[in-house]
Amino acid sequence: MSDTPPLTVPADRAAYAAAVQLAVDAAAAYYGDGTSSLDDDDYDRLVRGIEAYEAEHPGDVSPDSPTGKVAGGAVVGDVPHSTPMLSLDNVFSADGLAKWAAGLERRLGRPVTVWSVEPKLDGLAISARYRNGRLVQLITRGDGTAGEDVSHAIGTVVGLPGALTEPVTVEIRGEVMMTAAQFEAACAKRQAHDGTTFANPRSAAAGTLRAQDRPYVCELTFFGYGALPLPPGDGSEVAVRLRELPHSRIMGLVATWGVQTTAATPVAGVTATGVEEIQARVEQIAAQRADLAFGIDGIVIKCDLAEDQAQAGFSSRAPRWAVAYKLPAVEKITKLVAVEWNTGRTGIIAPRAVLEPVELDGSIVTYATLHNPNDITRRGLMLGDSVTVYKAGDVIPRVEAPVVHLRTGDEQPIAFPEACPNCGDAIDSSQERWRCVRGRACRALAPIAYAVGRDCLDIETLAESRIVQLLDAGFIADFADLFLLTRDQVLTLERMGDTSTDKLLAAIETAKTRPLSRVFCALGVRGTGRSMSRRIARHFATMEAVLAASADELQVVEGIGPKKAPDVVAELAELRPLIDKLIQAGVNMVEPGVTPAVAVDGAGDGQEDEKGEGSALPLAGMTVVVTGAMSGPLQDLSRNQVNELVERAGGKASSAVSAKTSLLVAGDKAGSKKAKAEGLGVRIASPEEFAALVGAFL
């Protein structure tokens, strides 16, 4: 985890006043209708800059300052809370967490024996009041003292039942949010209604919770994070238990009453006995973030025992016994400057967003994916728009939606290409993903360069400039033609003498012997890559079996679902002339070490060979991630070659560490992946240890 993010401290009193006004306006807009001119990360940095200025200039503090106030002081509710509903203080690193915990234990005069660690959900805090087990009122956090009545939303919030399993009088506190699926559905409804979309799930949830006059209904989700007695039930058995039980036990009660908590999710709340255990769980939750169906922006750490909470007490805006460990922002607002259109090696014409540079998840982002023209239309994007950009884990940044309320009127429509941006020929726009009518022939250089690269056929000495010479001379039209080249043809090329010609032809001859997985990868079938090509080759063993496979048979291969399988079948049919040419040229079409009979009839998993059954392979059933610089027996292997080794030994190669990872091979300078693996408790091996494990397959 990184240290505290950088912030800008106002330079003088005028800048301070402007910063305060910006924060107040942003908070008022967000807590009013779910809109804001700032994303969460920028708002947090702005407020911390204001706090820093006020610490240096206490005489300048404005009464409108958002510091020390719940919701930045932007909200005044009309329904009093039975107990203040406060914010949380933040830390941003392991060091910050350790300092906070040490300070709390000094305040208590003793160690904290049990901590609670749970995800910080990226939604809106609300209070749900139940009387005799019936949901009677929903209230927003407001200013922490009183909130807004949003009971009209009862019945639209998943996870918040209208009746509990017991007739208790209680107040459940938690977060209302939108899952990824709910957000997509909400955007579709809004698009159909007025042609716009929501900026992000959080603002969509905020606006939806308060909306009473929309002609359409959007579903929300609730996760409970606490419970407390609701007057007049102060003397009831339930009230006594809620005042005395540890937080972890209270959350167990909440779940038994039928309220949704994070207990059934991959980031369930746990207890810990020290800062090291807390940090390990922080890393585990952070590693799961990209795969969750809902947003989190941090981890909440709190004293689990009621007596610790009572002794620590509260500040004016936050409990002293709890803190939020904030994670790097994965969503930001920036400007859409331009859209570039590029034709890929398969003829697909893809748009790419050019953005005003923005820091996102630890890196500076200037480009993001826009998927396809229909997606641009569906999201209502325009040049000059303020847009939300999303990134999580290793995912390529993507433009989520325009922030419609920030439009100035100067925005312009995005121009779609009328001809292929590469060759100028017509565009086939019959499907969502537009394609040049020439298909692969549009970009002959790109697919050939890809096919001969190190991760595919690995033809040494065949540089891109040499491929251009061969294309210009008319000697090749695709990479299969390379295997039909004659010595006389190559000698006619500029700067190709006897020695260089013989060396190139020898490399091409060697490429004929590459395994089927490399040959299949060289084909560049859309929707497949190096790992998928290896899985296909290991399962079917021969190109003949691959070509004979139906869509249903292809789905047996991990990662090929019912949507992708028909596309792969169609793509292979399109590539059949190229494949036939490769066969005629004598290129290998078999995966070494795989028994064709087993793979073709589907009786096995394609990993049975002369070394024994697939289940006996040393990495059978394991997902392996390789990171850092390899050493020892693996020193001279490329990353792709190490991944091939993983799959020959029965494992599945992956690029990202997650809870599903079985083994991390960590070389020198392993970096963040090793830290994630340690946090998740994933087994870690050095390159030398891994080489010993799979030595028979090296």
**Mean pLDDT, range 247-251, rounded to an integer:** 95
- The predicted-structure confidence for 275-307, as pLDDT tens digits, reads as follows 999 999 998 998 888 788 898 989 999 999 999
Over residues 175-193, the mean pLDDT reads 90
What is the CATH T-level fold of the domain 444-511, as seen in this structure?
Answer: DNA polymerase; domain 1 (1.10.150)
CA of 358: how far to CAs of 37, 48, 79, 386, in Å? Answer: 15, 19, 40, 12
Q: What's the pLDDT band for 610 if we cut at 50, 70, 90?
A: very low
The whole-angstrom distance between residue 113's C-alpha and the CA centroid of its chain comes to 34
Least confident piece of the model among 266-280, 479-493, 505-519, 669-683:
669-683
More confident of the two residues 76 and 698: 698
Q: 3-state DSSP call for residue 398?
A: strand
Q: Active-site residue among 69, 99, 120, 189?
A: 120
Provide the pLDDT for residue 281: 93
Question: Which of the listed ranges 197-201, 570-574, 668-672 does the model predict with the highest average pLDDT?
Answer: 570-574
CATH for 13-74? 1.10.287
362 — pLDDT class (breaks 50, 70, 90): low
Could you tell me the CA-to-CA distances from 540 to 552, 596, 606 in Å, in that order? 13, 7, 6
When the pLDDT of each residue in the chain is averaged and rounded to a whole number, the result is 86
Q: What is the pLDDT of residues 617-654, one digit of tens each?
A: 888 888 999 998 899 999 888 887 888 888 888 888 88
Q: Report which of residues 465 and 23 the model is more confident about.
A: 465
Q: What percent of the chain has pLDDT over 70?
A: 91
Query: 606 pLDDT exceeds 50?
Result: no
Q: Which of 224-233, 332-341, 605-614 has the lowest mean pLDDT?
A: 605-614
Q: What is the pLDDT of residues 306-318, one digit of tens each?
A: 999 999 999 877 8
- 33-37, 277-281, 456-460: the lowest-pLDDT one: 33-37
Tell me what pLDDT residue 600 has: 41
Q: Quick check: is 120 catalytic?
A: yes
- Considering the chain, what percentage of its residues have pLDDT values greater than 90? 44
pLDDT, tens only, 127-160: 999 999 999 999 998 888 888 899 999 999 999 9
CATH 3.30.470.30 holds for 80-326:
yes
Q: How far is CA 195 from CA 130, 191, 384, 412, 433, in A?
A: 38, 4, 18, 16, 22
Fold match, 80-326 / 617-698 = no
Specify the pLDDT at position 513.
94
| pLDDT surpasses 60 at 71 | no
DSSP 8-state symbol, 274: S
pLDDT at 546: 94
For 389-398, what is each residue's pLDDT tens digit? 887 555 678 8
- Residue 121 is predicted with a pLDDT of 93
Q: What DSSP designation does 239 have?
A: H
**pTM for this one?**
0.60
Pick the CATH number of 617-698 from 1.20.1560.10, 2.60.120.10, 1.10.3720.10, 3.40.50.10190: 3.40.50.10190
86-105 tens-digit pLDDT: 889 999 889 999 999 999 99
Label residue 498 by pLDDT band (50, 70, 90): very high
Closest by CA to 288, choosing from 684, 679, 683, is 679
Domain ranges (residues) in the chain: 13-74, 80-326, 331-428, 444-511, 617-698
Output 439-445 pairs: Cβ under 8 A, ≥24 positions apart: 439/346, 439/347, 439/574, 440/345, 440/346, 440/347, 440/478, 440/524, 441/347, 441/477, 442/343, 442/347, 443/343, 443/344, 443/345, 443/347, 444/471, 444/477, 444/478, 445/471
Could you please state the CATH topology (level 3) that the domain comprising 331-428 is classified under.
OB fold (Dihydrolipoamide Acetyltransferase, E2P) (2.40.50)
pLDDT band at 2 (very low <50, low <70, confident <90, very high): very low
